Amino acid sequence: MKKIFSIFIFALLSCSLFADEGMWLPILIEKYNITDMQKKGFKLTAEDIYSINHASMKDAIVIFGGGCTGEMISNEGLLITNHHCGYGTIQRHSSVEHDYLTDGFWAMSRKEELASPGLTVTFLVSMEDVTDKVLEGVTSDMSDSDRATKILANMSKIKEESVKDTHYQARIESFYNGNQYFLFKNEIFEDVRLVGAPPSAIGKFGGDTDNWMWPRHTGDFSLFRVYCDKDGKPAKYSDDNIPYTPKKFFPISLKGVQEGDFTMVFGYPGTTQEYLPAVAVEQVMNESDPTRIAIRDKKLEVIKAGMEKSKLTRIQYSNKAASIANGWKKWQGEIKGLKRLDAVNVKLNFEEGFQKWANDKPEYKDLLNDYAKVYAEMKPLNLAYIYITEAILGSYAVSFANQMRMLESCKDALPESLQSLKEMTLSKSKGNYKDYDEQVEIRLFAEMTRIYMENMPKKYWPSAYSNIDKVTKSASDKYMAFAEYCFSKSVFANQTKFDNFVNGLSSKSVKTLTTDPIYSIAKEVMDKYKNEIRMALIDCDVRIKKLDRIYMKAQMEYEPQKRFFPDANFTLRVTYGQVTPYKPADGIDYEYFTTLDGIIEKDNPNIYDYKVPARLKELYEKKDYGRYADKDGKMHVAFTATNHTTGGNSGSPVINGNGELIGVNFDRNWEGTMSDIMYDPEMCRNISLDIRYALFLIDKFAGASHLIDEMEIRK
């Protein structure tokens, strides 16, 4: 196995330096990147980024929740991340009486900070290359299943031994599509409290319209505090817990950025697919993305119509709408970018040369043909999966019904077990129906049914669909009539009906679920998925993963001078670049920064996402920016750079050459969203909140100067 790994070492060490593409493991920065970083303006060392011997930048970075990054900005546990990363927590704390989404929230004392059950932050303790240990006993003549079994057994043993007698948790992730493995030891804190968030008119300024776009004027940040027990260890929420003292936190620079400045983004990028074959890129560009976009078009139309009618509905569906819209808009940009780069033909041209090289290499010569076969087989399965997950489960009523299939277990439950089931179900009901409007759900159910029936073969229809004409008779809109019928007959229609059903639950009453239309649709479709689609998709996925592993190794042998970075997999990475403007189209030249001037220009009191708060306008009119203004006298809001980022990098610290915090990463430009598949140095930009704007809002807008006092501010 050492021979395999040597290929990757050689490919990295012998490379020439390229543009700012790549997401690099911090433990390997000393070997592969530090010289290039220092040439571009980084003034520190690799040890300052990652060290196991002393506190380093990696000790100030956290996984925030389940899919974002955050960073420590004081020695009292204060943490900053994006507003959109904290959005779900802010929304859960909000009500009509306390609308923190609209009004913002600022804890003026530790006692006012809001406990957030279920929210965690994860610190990396260490990472280690365990490739040899994971692949120990793996031989080339093993079957795929035996190989997988051996690797899983090895990984389980490694993880268990690595955290024995500690409170740490371990995970092992593969890199280079299964050719290399790293062990990550983590420390997870469970008491995380909301400290501050600007109103959505600042933190989500521009809403879905501005999402993924540049120029950007969003104050996308929120503040939390990490708490621990008196010994500094993770603990469940308790009034006795104290603020956590991190090993490292970031000092904050007030100098701002200039074009050409070095920037480093340090965080947890989610997923990239830079080494896909042409057939896979074609499927993404022409099938998967367009299908998802079309379904989400309709979901957003229905939800936003409901949100416009009611303040309560706007609060209930704000997080759902944001989540749906994020992927919806990203995929549109991805398609546009891939087409502009002619990505499929770029891949095909590469594969033409690769195939000539591979023809006399038995282990590689059939790779591309094998890819073509499995992707052709997967195509209808993939589309079925998308329509089921996006359309069928896109109805929250159906999705909740699917989650409640455990209710059938009460047929054989003992009295004490039945009571426990009732209590657990009622708790889930409270969470589900808190953010639920029956009229919105009826419309959503109708539109998702329409999409599913018009695009999926009848063999995948639930039996209820066969009776739709009979049930709706001569209705002008049979799908809407069908939805109203289903909701009139279903216990899942609203919380009152569902809770009444659960309170009266018995081995006899549970039988009514067999005739409940919403429950029946959820059960039938998901059973079809599990029995006819899921296993076939898994089989395709297993075959693709094997091909990916071999193809990755082959590509690196084919191009030994190229610098290959491992695809993102939500592990801690360093990406670096420079503050740079860009030109998205002929006649358009974008500056690298935006200012508060642009927010005032966009002000529109009639549009929720563009209604600038009066206090912010007052500060603007007085030019009361304090020490946070740029040397040009303006309040800078955001800036662009060439750092290679993706989902998961939301909330990541943007660091200057001195190791100081200058921004918080929150987005990419729309023209560069194809960077998950194909990076373009001319067009790909990450978008970051200027940290001075966040400080200005905390201090001048919110009056929470006590939070500023915690931080180390450098002029």
**Which two structure tokens, joined as six digits, stand for 143?**
């079957």
C-alpha distances in Å from residue 300, one per residue of 297, 323, 483, 542, 548: 5, 10, 18, 34, 35
Catalytic residue (choose from 84, 93, 636, 644):
84
The half-sphere exposure of 121 on its side-chain side, counting CA atoms within 13 A, is 34
Query: Is residue 446 within 8 Å of 483, Cβ to Cβ?
Result: yes
CA–CA separation, 173 and 568 (whole Å): 11
CA–CA separation, 176 and 568 (whole Å): 10
Q: Which residues contact 90 (CB under 8 A, 6 or more apart)?
A: 83, 100, 101, 105, 194, 197, 222
The half-sphere exposure of 596 on its side-chain side, counting CA atoms within 13 A, is 26
Q: Is 364 helix (H, G, I), strand (E, B) or coil?
A: coil
Nearest to 204, CA basis, from 301, 316, 323, 70? 323
The half-sphere exposure of 647 on its side-chain side, counting CA atoms within 13 A, is 16
Catalytic residue (choose from 59, 220, 437, 548):
220
C-alpha distances in Å from residue 517, one per residue of 444, 487, 491: 15, 8, 9
Q: Which residues contact 132 (CB under 8 A, 6 or more apart)?
A: 1, 2, 5
What is the rounded (10 degree) CA torsion for 93, 98, 102, 105? -70
Question: Does the annotation mark 650 as catalytic?
Answer: yes
Query: Is residue 229 within 8 Å of 241, Cβ to Cβ?
Result: yes
Antiparallel, parallel or unpaired: β 573-578 and 262-267: antiparallel
What single string gives the DSSP state of each residue in 251-294? Answer: -EESS---TT-EEEEEE------TT--HHHHHHIIIIIHHHHHH
Element (H, E) at 497: helix 495-503
Total length of the chain: 715
Question: Does the annotation mark 597 as catalytic?
Answer: no
Q: Is 411 helix (H, G, I), strand (E, B) or coil?
A: helix
Catalytic residue (choose from 288, 650, 652, 675):
650
Strand partners for 228: 242
Element (H, E) at 638: strand 636-641
According to DSSP, residue 565 is labeled P
CA–CA separation, 205 and 383 (whole Å): 35
CA–CA separation, 93 and 414 (whole Å): 37
CA–CA separation, 26 and 32 (whole Å): 10
C-alpha distances in Å from residue 61, one per residue of 17, 655, 702: 27, 12, 26
Residue 190: phi, psi to the nearest 5?
-105, -10
Question: Dihedral sign, CA of 300, 302, 308, 313?
Answer: negative
CA–CA separation, 305 and 319 (whole Å): 15
Question: Does the annotation mark 84 as catalytic?
Answer: yes
Residue 372: phi, psi to the nearest 5?
-60, -40
**Which two structure tokens, joined as six digits, stand for 627?**
């020490």
Query: Is residue 639 within 8 Å of 592, Cβ to Cβ?
Result: yes
DSSP count for the chain of H helices, then E strands: 28, 22
From the CB of residue 681, how many other CB atoms can be counted at a distance below 10 Å? 17
Q: Given its phi and psi angles, is residue 653 left (phi above 0), alpha (psi -120 to 50 degrees) or beta? A: beta
Residue 657: phi, psi to the nearest 5?
-65, -15
The catalytic residues are 84, 220, 650
